[in-house]
A and B are shown apart, each in its own frame.
Chain A
């Protein structure tokens, strides 16, 4: 019988040291909604699990000046009740809340969703659209990593041994900003995205788009930041032509797989449709945030 060691440190430094110094595989634990399933099915066999939920920096939501900082292990249930984040970045909160059931929401977190490394993670395209940056702690100190750079392949991260995502920092959006995330699944609830699209945009006083970001999920080996999507919107009034260009940019960025949930052709098409629809929701929110 194996013996799994469990630690629940109360500081980031202790968590990093435990993970970095471990013999054999050590895994950080946030909400555990992926990790516990992987343990049960022997998909992973760590010798050490380090629970991060006793560390205040991973469980806090704070607003400092122009930055909103969300701890990496804050649950969907908690984040959904946070007015500062839901009003600033409703698309990010909606994306996290799409994951699983009420029970899953009691534990699932942005950090866990990102660091599980799935190309189809729902919250990741929304975080990319929001321009979220990870505060990463590790044995060689702290660094900042844009969310779009964290996942390097299915289940693969750019984090080194002992490195953990402590929190996500998002800018407080300027006036006339909005974001949205949409995903396609073949049922109403609780499924893995066939395609996911997150859009964030800002308008000037004349209604011209001055800033935009498009994130896509489940259409490539990693979630994508689609810079051509932003270019399609910036400088326009987000009219039909601009939205058509956005959809074309989204479809062109796709490099998906064929599987039982969707063919390549279907995913490419739906990525454009969802990017356009998410942009329309973000636009509506930007117009009402004047």
Chain B
């Protein structure tokens, strides 16, 4: 079977991989690059567990082919912490117990980080709409939204 050679950047690191035409970016991240922080939930773009950024734009990795990553900059959950120092969102999610089983958490964190980069001062409604493509079956969302709003305030220096 033909394989495609793709040159890209993942979390700022120049990265190359081989993939088939059928493999999604999610398949590549998990199976070829062993970056398993990005989760597979529905694999049809409904749940947001595979949220990543491509050239800074939030997308579902399950709805993009691996071959499409050529020359793009991919951002995943593995690039969120700075070494051993957690991103403020990660710290606040722990602080507020904004997770239970945890499978949706990487997607929520990547999506919430993208929100705060685009809109550092979201209303609660804006945060809820932005995160409407991330499904969580444990928390009921309240603690997640609270953690995002608290982090947003912290990052604004309030």
Residues of chain A having any CB pair with chain B under 8 Å: 1-6, 8, 29, 31-33, 36-37, 39-41, 49, 51, 53, 75, 77, 100-104, 106-107, 189-190
Contact = CB atoms under 8 A, between A and B. Distances in A.
A32 B129 contact: no
Contacts of A1: 1
Contact of B65 (A3, A6, A75, A190): A6
A100 B129 CA distance: 11
A4 B60 CA distance: 21
Contacts of A40: 43-44, 62
B58 A103 contact: yes
B32 to A, nearest CB: 15
B111 interface: yes
B105 to A, nearest CB: 16
B67 A3 contact: no
A104 B57 contact: no
A272 to B, nearest CB: 29
A51 B65 CA distance: 10
Taking residues whose C-beta sits less than 8 angstroms from the other chain, chain B's interface range is 20 to 34
Contacts of A3: 1-2, 20-21
Residue with the highest number of chain B CB atoms closer than 10 Å, among A53, A101, A103, A189: A103
A100 B1 contact: no
A39 B63 contact: no
The 9 A-B residue pairs whose C-beta atoms are closest, nearest first, are A101-B133, A4-B21, A106-B59, A106-B57, A6-B21, A6-B67, A3-B1, A103-B60, A36-B63
B54 A106 contact: yes
Given A5-B21, A51-B67, A102-B131, 13 more contacts: A2-B22, A3-B21, A5-B2, A33-B45, A36-B24, A36-B65, A41-B44, A101-B133, A102-B114, A102-B132, A103-B51, A104-B63, A189-B132
B64 A36 contact: yes
B70 interface: yes
B59 A53 contact: no
Contact of B59 (A5, A49, A103, A189): A103
A101 B60 CA distance: 10
Nearest to A75: B57
B96 interface: no
Contacts of A53: 68
B141 to A, nearest CB: 13
Interface in B130-150: 130-134
B3 to A, nearest CB: 9
Interface string B24-57: 1000000000000000000111001001001001
Contacts of B70: 8
Contacts of A33: 45, 63
Contacts of A51: 65, 67-68
A8 B45 contact: no
A104 B21 contact: no
B50 to A, nearest CB: 9
Nearest to B24: A36
A1 B129 CA distance: 40
Contacts of B130: 102
